[in-house]
Amino acid sequence: MTRHPDGFEDAMKALAHRVWKRDQLDPDDRPSPTDFAFEFMTAMTHLGWKLIPITPPRTTGATGPEVYARGAAMVRQALPIRTAPEVDGGGADA
């Protein structure tokens, strides 16, 4: 079962109830979707709900070719160096 933040279930029930009440109105009397959403968000804010802005993940700020080159150099250093087998230079009769 998914765990939701406190108040999630109550907010979901409140929204479902408001949608149901809106749907009972004559289509000409229904508020616009924007007005409906604004009213709901205002009510939730009045009840203590607070918007928690989504923050992007932190980055070191270092990007660009020099950073990638440094990373590649670190990988090359960590990996065993493989060299091509030496060719003795002999011909077909060697």
Please tell me which residue, 10 or 85, carries the higher pLDDT value. 10
Q: What's the mean pLDDT when you consider all of the chain? A: 79
* Cα dist from 78 to 26, 71, 85, whole Å: 71, 11, 21
Mean pLDDT of 12-31: 91
User: SS3 for 77?
Assistant: helix
Mind spelling out the 3-state secondary structure of 10-51?
Answer: HHHHHHHHHHHHHHHCCHHHCCCHHHHHHHHHHHHHHCCCCC
Which pTM was predicted?
0.46
Give me the pLDDT at residue 93, please: 54
pLDDT tens across 35-81, in order? 999 998 898 888 887 777 777 776 666 777 888 888 888 888 888 76
40: CB partners within 8 A, 6+ apart: 14, 15, 18
Give me the pLDDT at residue 54, please: 76
